[in-house]
A and B are shown apart, each in its own frame.
Chain A
Amino acid sequence: MPEPRTSVPAADRAALMMQLVPYLIGKGEVPVVEAAADFDVSPQRMRELVRRLTVIGLPGDGGFWQLPNDLFDIDWDLLEERDLIAITNSVGLERTPRLTAGEASALLAGLRVATALPGVGDSDLVRGLLAKLARGASATPPDVIVAPAPVDSVRETVDRALRERVAVSFTYKAPDAAATTRTVDPVKVHLANGQWYLQGWCHLRQAMRTFHLDRVSELSLTELPIEHGEEPVPALFEPGAEDLVARIRFPASIAMLLGDYLDRAEVSVEAGIATATMRVADEHSLRRLAARHGGAVEILEPAGARAAARRWALAGLEQYGV
């Protein structure tokens, strides 16, 4: 869960308090930890928010300070003794605020991504939701659109296997390795950067594995019911134990173009030149990286990977007789 960002602007903290009131009224009585989780803040921060709420209220009248009834109040005993929040007096803000244009936009775009998946949500449901989100926003949400990735028969078959809870069997061609035949209990389909991945229990490896769907062919449903659907699923890109440590150098200005490569890298920048140390699965991916960036990326270590990258580019050039 994202911990509170270091310096949240006052306006965002105010927005949080305005959301908190209808939430607390709706809940009646809610444990601090639960409210904290729902609002993406620490329990300590939630307690502080609730305490702050009790100094907020209607303006005093004609130079007098507010009376207790003019302020929000909570059940203090409940908070101090049982770490529960319950509002005992409210002076406004009971209704849920409209979505901001940004909130509506984030949900609308996400909705389009979700509904491009095979079998998720029927179109009437989606149409209704799109209209409600637009109407529930305080201003016209900016158009943010994610073009749906094409769905082919491999993806549709995986979707059927997930629904029917049966294993699939397919040929798998890992990068720069020989093809293998796998039988897999499907658990989850990930979509990241336009790429589809299937996670599931691999009968061959007797463990949870991730398969890039573009590398899958001759996929078919089996009659084997899923047996290992409940095993813990690793994160999508978890570094394996056999990983290689590499060091690369590139102009800091292109860091954004390296994308996920730098997600787990240690990067230092000097005079506009960045040096990154990271773990990679194998040397092959480095030679592809170097060729892709056409001289902007230099492989420093391991030496074998640097030599392989040079050979790779030269072999490519040879095809053109240059």
Chain B
Amino acid sequence: MASRDGVRSAPEERLVNLVVALMATEQGLTKETILGNVAGYREQREAGASKDALEKMFERDKESLRGLGIPIETIGDYADPDDLREARYRVPTAEYALPDDIAFSPAEVALLNLAGGVWSQSSMSADARSGLRKIRALGIAVDAPIIGYSPRVSLREPAFRPLQTAIEQCRVVRFGYLKPGDPAPRRRHVQPLALVEYEARWHVLGDDLDAGAERTFLLSRIAGEVELTRARFPEARREGAGERALAGLRAVAARQSAELQVRPGTEAELRLSRRGTRDGQRLHVPYVDAHILADELASYGPEVRVVAPAALRDEVVGRLRAAAQRNGGPDA
């Protein structure tokens, strides 16, 4: 609190002071003015911090604020735009604030409240709540909450957040990807374009730079950290990517179908019949990924038998055999 007593003030105070200063100026402030006058920098300068350290702090602060979506404009030297020594900085109010003409009706806010509530404990939940707070701060009345429904989307994959950031900043990423059957993850080099949840699993659509083609990856198969590189790609690549990913997944499901024999009255029948089409004694179920369907079919044990394709059948048999072995007795 006592920032004037020579005590180092909290970094968030310095950041907010900087925003207030940069919004209050029309023509912009030079770095020199900022470091010498804005509270937070000024104390540190007076306490003997080096010019270099202060400048680095200012650069970091600018990055932090841009990360929050705060537009910091740099007005360079007109004669030499690359010369930033005399650059002036400002935050244009029009780009900082929610546009005046955006208003939300009470019905819209009620719907947004429901929309913001779908993310159970995750980074998306924090983002949604923060966004809702901004909208509510506009002082809009809200319709009665939409009752009767509680939709939830779960998001456990640690790869989600870094991929979302990478998409937002159009940055190329690297990650290890473990395909079932491979002994070890393979490094992938990808321009991520969109995140899609399909059949309760998260996928990322991206340009696979090694393969030279668009590919869809399952987030649960990403092994280890997602690394954001410095390389960037044009934002235009992202246009329509979400719909493209969804259409791609649907097309794969339409192409691949498992022929199954399902015992009537079982859990397997209950779960599978809604997704498939019946053909006499057989059920045809479309699928996106043979390994994921094999996981599910194996869980049904004797309730389902895979007729075709043979590769899927082999996957299921392999799982059942391994499960029996792993859970055997001492003599098994």
Contacts and interface: CB of A to CB of B under 8 A. Distances in A.
Interface stretch (A80-88, A238-246, A265-273, A313-321): A313-321
Nearest to B103: A132
A55 interface: yes
A87 B155 CA distance: 39
Contact of A313 (B98, B99, B323): B323
B15 A188 contact: no
Residue from B33, B167, B325, B327 with most neighbouring chain A CB atoms (10 Å): B327
Contacts of B69: 97-101, 137-139
Tell me whether chain B's interface is mostly helix, strand or loop, or mixed: helix
B98 A52 contact: no
Interface stretch (B36-44, B73-81, B277-285): B36-44
Interface string B114-157: 11111101011111111111111111000000111111111011
Contacts of B124: 105-106, 109, 144
Interface stretch (B47-55, B209-217, B225-233, B243-251): B243-251
Given A136-B99, A144-B194, A309-B323, A56 B93 contact: no
A95 B93 contact: yes
Contacts of B241: 143
B153 A138 contact: no
A259 B155 CA distance: 10
Interface string A183-202: 00011111111110000000
Given A22-B137, A57-B39, A96-B138, A192 B154 contact: yes
A106 B135 CA distance: 14
Interface string B91-126: 001011111001010011001101111110101111
Nearest to B165: A102
B169 to A, nearest CB: 9
Contacts of B274: 152, 214
Given A15-B68, A57-B39, A294-B318, A125 B107 contact: yes
A278 interface: no
Nearest to B275: A150
Nearest to B167: A142
Residue among A61, A102, A295 having the largest count of chain B Cβ atoms under 10 Å: A102
Size bin of chain B's contact surface = 35 or more
B64 A97 contact: no
A317 B107 CA distance: 55
A20 B154 CA distance: 29
A11 B137 contact: no
Interface string B165-178: 10110000000000
Given A129-B108, A292-B298, A102 B12 contact: no
A315 B131 contact: no
Interface in A282-303: 287-299
Interface string B1-23: 10110000111110111011101
Nearest to A94: B97
26 contacts: A9-B64, A15-B68, A18-B19, A19-B133, A38-B133, A55-B4, A56-B20, A101-B168, A103-B134, A106-B116, A111-B111, A113-B153, A114-B146, A121-B107, A121-B111, A125-B111, A132-B108, A138-B69, A139-B69, A188-B148, A189-B150, A194-B199, A290-B326, A291-B300, A312-B301, A322-B317
Given A120-B146, A191-B150, A315-B301, 18 more contacts: A14-B64, A17-B16, A18-B68, A22-B137, A51-B1, A56-B20, A59-B33, A66-B39, A92-B19, A97-B134, A101-B69, A102-B123, A106-B119, A138-B70, A145-B194, A289-B299, A295-B321, A317-B324
Top 10 A-B pairs, shortest CB-CB distance: A295-B322, A294-B319, A143-B242, A103-B131, A138-B69, A95-B97, A110-B115, A194-B200, A143-B194, A292-B299
